[in-house]
Amino acid sequence: MNIRTILVPVDFSTCSLLVTRQAAGLAARLGARVVVMHVSELPGDLAQGAHVRPDGVDRTAAEYLTADARERLALFVSAAREVGAAAEIEVRIGPVVPTILAAADALAADLIVIGTHGRTGLARMVLGSVAEGVAHKAHVPVMLVRRESRPECARQSCEWCPHEGRSPAEEKLAGESQG
């Protein structure tokens, strides 16, 4: 198999930055490019074209989330380039698993590298697993990277875990749409 494009979906957590570095190291060795991607989900009652002002600037919900994600993804692309990989940014709006799968097809990804929390039992059943959904439904190979269990991760990684899997920008937008 010739790997030319590696898709790396991220959630902006510390651990997903580590996953990006691992994928970039592989890409550098293979001469492949890394596409670092984030998928933002809109609050259920908000359309992509709805105008919002969570930061005082009038723009569509999709524009707000895309701008925030692009800004945050710059760190991930920089980390990938530091290890010698060609890297680019991809931002999509939609339901996470189907959107990752559609992006993999559209970008002609040869491999998806995605982190997994490694949850088991009730936590996995209740919270589900984006990585598991991608692995089961992808048309290309998927490399699951178990996120490191580190003391600092327990305290600060997955910065939005208390927020039902949404990024801070998505939380802000959800708050605005509810009142």
The total number of structural domains that make up the chain: 1
Is the residue at 51 inside a domain? yes
The pLDDT confidence band at residue 1, using thresholds 50, 70 and 90, is confident
- Asked, for residue 176, whether it belongs to a domain, the answer is no
d(CA 64, CA 173): 9
In a domain, 177, yes or no: no
User: CA–CA distance from 18 to each of 55, 86, 92, 102, 170 (Å)?
Assistant: 30, 17, 21, 24, 23
Q: Which amino acid is at 133?
A: G
Q: Mind listing the pLDDT tens digit for each residue in 55-113? A: 788 888 889 899 999 999 999 999 999 999 999 999 999 999 999 999 999 999 999 99
Q: Quickly list H helices, 128-167.
A: 130-137, 151-156
- Higher pLDDT among residues 59 and 152, named by residue: 59
User: Can you give the CATH number for the domain in which 143 is found?
Assistant: 3.40.50.620
Q: How confident is the model at residue 22 (pLDDT cuts 50, 70, 90)?
A: very high
Q: Using the 8-state DSSP alphabet, how is residue 162 labeled?
A: G
Q: Which structural domain, as residue segments, surrounds residue 39? A: 5-160
